[in-house]
Every structure is written in C-alpha cells, then in structure tokens.
Amino acid sequence: MAQETADKTPLTLLGLGAMGTALARAWLAAGHPLTVWNRTPARAEALAAEGATVARSAAEAVAANSLVVVCLLDDASVTATLADTDLAGRDLVDLTTGTPAQARARAEWARERGARYLDGGIMAVPPMVGVPEAGGYVFYSGSKELFERHRETLGVPVGTTYVGEDAGFAALHDIALLSAMYGMFAGIAHAFALIRKEDIDPASLAPLLTGWLTAMAAPSVHQTADQLRTGDYTTNVVSNLAMQVAGVPNFVGTAEQQGVSTELLSPYFALMRRRLAEGSGDEDLTGVVDLLVR
Ligand SMILES: NC(=O)c1ccc[n+]([C@@H]2O[C@H](COP(=O)([O-])OP(=O)(O)OC[C@H]3O[C@@H](n4cnc5c(N)ncnc54)[C@H](OP(=O)(O)O)[C@@H]3O)[C@@H](O)[C@H]2O)c1
C-alpha cells in the first residue's frame, strides 16, 4: 500500500531492468510520484499498474521532474538514452555501474548541458532493494550540496554513503569492493576444487569456509589499512611474511596432489615471494599492495 504522496519528492527513473524495476517499486511503495521510461516499453507496464507514470520517450520523462535518476546497463546506454533530452536545470543521478573516468566525464558532460550531477555505485542486488535490514546501500560522489538536497529520496530504496566531491569516487569505491569480492570468489573456487574428487560433501565444507573467511576478513582488512596509514608493515604482525612464504609449497603441493590448477593462487604467491625478496620477512602481507601499484 503506497504511503501519502503529498510531501514526497517526485522523480523520474530511466531504465527498468532488474535493478531499475526494484528501485521503482521502492519509490512507489514509499509514496514518491514516479515517472518511468524504458527502451523496451513492455517492462514499464507492471509499474504503471502500481502507480508509475509511463513516459513515451526519454525526453518526456526527463521533462517531467527536476530529479532524474538513470539506472541503465552501461555508460554507452546512458549516452544513447540521454542524447535527445533537455537536461538544463535537472539534477541528474547516474546509478549505472562504470569506471571512475566515465563518471568524471559524465559529470563534465552534465555540467555542459546545465545539469547538476551525482554519480552512484550500487552495493546491493535487486532483492536487497526496499529491504533496509538487508544492508544494501549506494556510494554517491559528486556535488555534496546535491547529495544533501536529495539524501532522503535517494535513501528510500537502499542506504546512502557519500564518498566525496570527486565524481569518480563512487565508482572507485564500488569497483574496489567488488574487486575484493572477486578475489574472495577465486579463493572459494580453489577450496571447493581441492575437495572435488574426494568423498567430501561440498555442503559440509560450506559452513567451515564461511566461518573461516568471516573470521579472517575484518582483522586482515583493518590491519592492512592501519599499516598502510603508518607505512610500518611490521606492527602487530601475527603471521609474518617469511613464515607464510615458507608455507607456499604446502599449497602448491596439495593442489598438485588433488589435480587442481594453481592458476588462481599462483599470482598471489609470486607477489608474496617478490616482496620477501625485496623487503623484510617480519612484515605482514601489506607490502603486496605496493607491488601492485604501478
Ligand atoms: N542487478 C544487479 O545485481 C546489480 C547490482 C548492482 C549494480 N547493478 C547495476 O545496475 C545497472 C542496471 O542493472 P540491471 O540489473 O537493471 O540490468 P538489466 O536487467 O540487464 O537491465 C538493463 C537496462 O538497461 C537498458 N539498456 C541497455 N542498453 C540500452 C541502450 N543502448 N539504450 C537504452 N537502454 C538500454 C535495458 O533496457 P531494455 O529493457 O530495453 O533492454 C534495461 O532497462 C547496471 O549498471 C548494473 O551494473 C546491478
């Protein structure tokens, strides 16, 4: 049941894919007057039944409200969609995933067209949208004033985290977190591969893996951050680099014995070895960060 709409900011949403549709439903459920547009019109039909106004073109949708949110596949689809719209005086919020360079270029592109700009990076999947306890949020960067003006409306579908005036910072934070996630996925894939040919139920490994990754994540992340800030990678070390490099043959040997490729882990081990050769065995693994930065 939609809430009262009188005091709710009206807005336009361009893009009704899986994510755009979830965002639209959250704004409608909270009582925000919403104008929507999607390249394939059929995707807007269900939302019309839920109270959305369906625009016949992107230009008509942009003209309907001063707050315009876009959530499209990629940066090229944003260019294509906004090509024939008049953005003068609009507050444009782009939730499309992209690179920091694309976000900075889009901010400049919007400024040239007389629009104010905020870039967003969504840290949620569609089922988390409109479910506050799921913990999803969007990184925002760009105009702080614009963020403050629309903070309440933008915070309806998921939480908001503002990360700076540099329009590229939301994308940078988004990609940093997702990159760490893929590293974790790589480790998980390797762990399951190790037991694949054995009489071990993957379901029995699952809780052990989640428990171990959860226990390791927070201490490791905070320790790395603290050491990078101070520049001293030997503070509070509990598992030093020399000991960890000495243990590498255990990982390589076990993988070989289990018939598992080391292609996911080997690059990391190579960096650990290089750091040991160049640095101190008393360090943590933090020195690997510096080896990655070119
Ligand atoms: N889904 C997730 O789990 C998730 C999580 C975080 C962030 N995101 C980000 O949210 C954004 C949208 O994701 P999604 O899951 O909604 O994707 P999706 O379901 O694939 O929907 C893509 C949307 O982009 C539109 N589109 C694609 N190319 C277009 C073009 N050339 N011109 C105009 N419209 C075009 C599609 O329109 P049609 O309907 O006409 O094809 C559709 O509305 C992406 O940047 C994605 O990275 C998604």
Ligand 1, atom 30, lies closest to the CA of 77
pLDDT per position as a tens digit, 250-275: 999 999 999 999 999 999 999 999 99
Q: Which pair of structure tokens corresponds to residue 211?
A: 């428990």
pTM: 0.94
Higher pLDDT, 133 or 5: 133
Rounded percentage of the chain residues whose pLDDT exceeds 70: 98
Residue 5 has pLDDT above 90, yes or no: no
Average pLDDT over residues 101-122: 98
> What's the average model confidence in pLDDT over 159-166?
98
Residue type, 276: L
Stretch 266-288: mean pLDDT: 96
Closest residue by Cα to atom 28, ligand 1, is: 77
Q: Where are the domains of the chain?
A: 11-166, 196-292
HEC assignment per residue over the chain: CCCCCCCCCCEEEECCCHHHHHHHHHHHHCCCCEEEECCCHHHHHHHHHCCCEECCCHHHHHHHCCEEEECCCCHHHHHHHHCCCCCCCCEEEECCCCCHHHHHHHHHHHHHCCCEEEEEEEECCHHHCCCHHHCCEEEEEECHHHHHHHHHHHCCCCEEEECCCCCCHHHHHHHHHHHHHHHHHHHHHHHHHHHCCCCCCHHHHHHHHHHHHHHHHHHHHHHHHHHHHHCCCCCCCCCCHHHHHHCHHHHHHHHHHCCCCCCCCHHHHHHHHHHHHHCCCCCCCCHHHHHHCC
CA 123 to ligand 1: nearest atom: 6
CB under 8 Å to 269, separation ≥6 — which residues? 245, 248, 251, 252, 262
Kindly state the average pLDDT of the residues 185-204: 98
Q: What distance in Å separates the CA atoms of residue 51 and residue 46, rounded to the nearest whole number?
A: 9
| Span from the CA of 2 to the centroid of ligand 1 (angstroms) | 25
- CA nearest ligand 1 atom 46, residue: 97
CA 70 / ligand 1 centre spacing (Å) = 10
CA nearest ligand 1 atom 48, residue? 19
196-292 belongs to which homologous superfamily? N-(1-d-carboxylethyl)-l-norvaline Dehydrogenase; domain 2 (1.10.1040.10)
Q: Between 294 and 171, where is the model more confident?
A: 171
- Domain spanning 11-166, CATH architecture: 3-Layer(aba) Sandwich (3.40)
Average pLDDT, the chain: 96
pLDDT of residue 4: 57
- What pLDDT was estimated at residue 116? 97
Ligand 1 geometric centre to CA of 73 (Å): 3
Q: What is the pLDDT of residues 61-79, one digit of tens each?
A: 999 999 999 999 999 999 9
Pocket of ligand 1 (CB under 6 A): 15-20, 38-40, 43, 71-73, 77, 80-81, 96-97, 122, 125-126
Find the 13 Cα to ligand 1 centroid distance in Å: 12
| pLDDT grade for 279, boundaries at 50, 70 and 90 | confident
127 alpha carbon to ligand 1 midpoint, in Å? Answer: 15
Atom number, ligand 1, closest to the C-alpha of residue 96: 45
Contact 71, 14 (CB under 8 A): yes
What per-residue confidence (pLDDT) applies to 36?
98
Per-residue b/e over 9-45, b at no fewer than 16 CB within 10 Å? bbbbbbbbbebbbbbbbbbbbbbbbbbbbbeeeebbe
Nearest CA to ligand 1 atom 5: 125
Nearest CA to ligand 1 atom 2: 125
Q: How many A from CA of 85 to the centre of ligand 1?
A: 19
**Residue appearing with tokens 């104010």:** 116
pLDDT score of 1 = 42
The answer to whether residue 100 scores a pLDDT higher than 80 is yes
- Better-predicted residue by pLDDT, 249 or 279: 249
Q: What is the mean predicted confidence (pLDDT) over 163-178?
A: 98
Given this model, what pLDDT does residue 19 score?
98
Tens of pLDDT, residue by residue over 19-49, are 999 999 999 999 999 999 999 999 999 999 9
Tell me how far the alpha carbon of residue 72 lies from the centroid of ligand 1, in angstroms: 4
Confidence check: pLDDT of 2 > 60: no
